[in-house]
Copies of this chain bind each other. A is one copy, B any other.
């Protein structure tokens, strides 16, 4: 695939925009249902393609955990289809009049919600992201160009083939869904610069992938995912509640961006709290890495290096920092966090207010687990990712976060004086 092919993909996606923009929500939802139907009906085609990926992955010595993420089954394909049906059931937001006002000169100005246009998505994850990303973008009237992980190439290509057939059945231009099948890194980098045709680029995957996109892209990017999340146990914390929240945020699912990676604890409660926490976390074999103030209480815990406080472990490890005050806790967290999700446990409303105000993060919790940072948990009905930047969208992104707006202005011949 050369750059001309990539340009042509962009051009085809862009040329589908007016068609998409004119589709009614009912037509879009019908297409999502038909896509779900074909995924189930043609599951054997997808499973055969997946087997090719699995074979290659086994040969390359992929780990058991990764193989499980890559593997598709009838049930997993049914879950993909169900995902599309759930997206179809969500309310429409395109065309919503967000604001409407009249100027003294008689101009009537409307701010109207419109699709973003063409969305690019680069991801490393499981093949189900392919159907999911299509569903969310299509529901919001966007064309999408996908670049999935090379390990899942055959699986992704099969899913896209089936969904494009569903679109064609309904006489919808199938170029609203395209997949880059070339695994050459140069093609991926060129994709990040397809600014003429792509309005928004969303990377989903490792910190390395996201960094590469941020560094190379000329298309506006929404950064997602990295989460070095803290729980701060205040002097006035309910210590049982604190232990419960940390147990949940650390161990309920370790490989996710909203898991807790670091505990910050007020010096006045460390003696009462740290041994208790150690006991609570013991059944899960969580390794504790503490600063000096921690070691004074838990002498057999691993000493934390400076680097620990900046590390998203995604593992059964928790760093611990002791602080002398709420201010120190806030400074520490604002220094090391990735602007994702942070929590204070306290019964002191004033301290909580300070924390909620001063911590610079997408989601700041008072007495609740950081694990709730999630589009479904927030009630958005869908999630395309968790934004850790401040431009456009912050925190869990649902359907509305895949839209833009335009101003339409109606007059009767007004000119500017």
Which residues of A are at the interface with B, using a C-beta cutoff of 8 A? 17-18, 21-22, 101, 103, 107, 109, 116-117, 195, 199-200, 214-215, 218, 220-222, 238, 241, 244-245, 247-249, 252, 330, 334, 352, 356-358, 360-369, 371-372, 377-379, 389-392, 394-395, 404-416
Write out the residue numbers on chain B whose beta carbons fall within 8 Å of the beta carbon of A334. 18
Q: Which 5 A-B residue pairs are closest in the complex by CB-CB distance?
A: A368-B411, A248-B415, A390-B404, A371-B416, A392-B392
Residues of B within 8 A of A214 (CB): 195, 218
- The residues of B that contact A379 with a CB separation of less than 8 Å are 101, 103
Q: CB < 8 Å: which of B200, B358, B368 contacts A410?
A: B368
| Chain B residues positioned under 8 Å from A391 (CB to CB) | 116, 199-200, 220, 222, 391-392, 404
Q: What are 15 A-to-B residue pairs whose CB atoms are below 8 Å?
A: A22-B357, A103-B378, A199-B389, A199-B391, A241-B412, A245-B415, A252-B415, A364-B408, A366-B408, A366-B409, A367-B412, A368-B410, A368-B413, A371-B415, A394-B405
A220 touching B360 in the complex, CB below 8 Å, given contacts A367-B412, A394-B406: no
Residue of B whose beta carbon sits closest to that of A357: B21
What residues on B are CB-neighbors of A103 within 8 Å? 377-379
Chain B minimum-CB-distance residue to A18: B358
A117 to B107, CA, bound (A): 34
Q: Is the CB of B221 within 8 A of A220?
A: yes
Contact A394–B390 (Cβ < 8 Å): no
User: A409–B21 contact, CB under 8 A?
Assistant: no
**Smallest beta-carbon distance A169→chain B, Å:** 25
Nearest CB of B to A216, in Å: 9
The A interface, classified by DSSP as helix, strand, loop or mixed, is: mixed
Is there an interface contact between B21 and A378, defined as CB atoms closer than 8 Å? no
How far apart are A218's CB and chain B's nearest CB, in angstroms?
5
User: What is the CA–CA distance of A77 and B416 in the complex, to the nearest angstrom?
Assistant: 26
Nearest CB of chain B from residue A413's CB, rounded to whole Å: 4
Instruction: State in angstroms the CA–CA spacing of A275 and B404 once bound together.
Output: 40
CB-CB under 8 A from A371, the residues of chain B are 415-416
Q: Are A238 and B413 in contact (CB under 8 A)?
A: yes
CB neighbours of A409 from chain B (8 A):
363-366, 368, 372
A12 to chain B, nearest CB (A): 14
Q: How far is the CA of A45 from the CA of B408 in the complex (A)?
A: 46
Closest to A363 in B: B407
B252 and A372 within 8 A (CB): no
The complex places the Cα of A265 from the Cα of B221 at a distance, in Å, of: 37
Contact between A413 and B199, CB atoms less than 8 A apart: no
Asked if A416 contacts B377 (CB within 8 A), the reply is yes
Known contacts A406-B362, A406-B364; is A414 also within 8 Å of B372 by CB?
yes
* Residue of B with least CB distance to A410: B366
The answer for the CA separation of A364 and B108 in the assembled complex, in Å, is 12
Q: How far is the CA of A17 from the CA of B369 in the complex (A)?
A: 26
Nearest-neighbour CB distance to chain B for A310, whole angstroms, equals 12
In chain B, what residue has the closest Cβ to A252?
Answer: B416
